[in-house]
Amino acid sequence: MMAKEKENSANTKTFLLRVDAETMEAVEKWAADEFRSVNGQLQWIIAEALKKSGRKKK
């Protein structure tokens, strides 16, 4: 594992997310369309929303 990966995994928190089946299917399709895992797609969606709202810079 690279140093950056180790650093990121040390700062990552795990949580359970419940979503309805229709939403999950849409996220799964979106993730597949962009060659991401569902987890990666959710991380990207959240990061983009935080940037757009001005709550996270970068």
Report residue 33's pLDDT band, with 50, 70 and 90 as the boundaries.
very high
Q: What does the pLDDT read at residue 42?
A: 97
Report residue 36's pLDDT band, with 50, 70 and 90 as the boundaries.
very high
Instruction: Report residue 45 as tokens.
Output: 């969606």
Q: What does the pLDDT read at residue 39?
A: 96
Q: What does the pLDDT read at residue 19?
A: 97
CA 50 to chain CA mean position, Å: 12
Q: Which of 36, 22, 2 is nearest to 46 (CA)?
A: 36
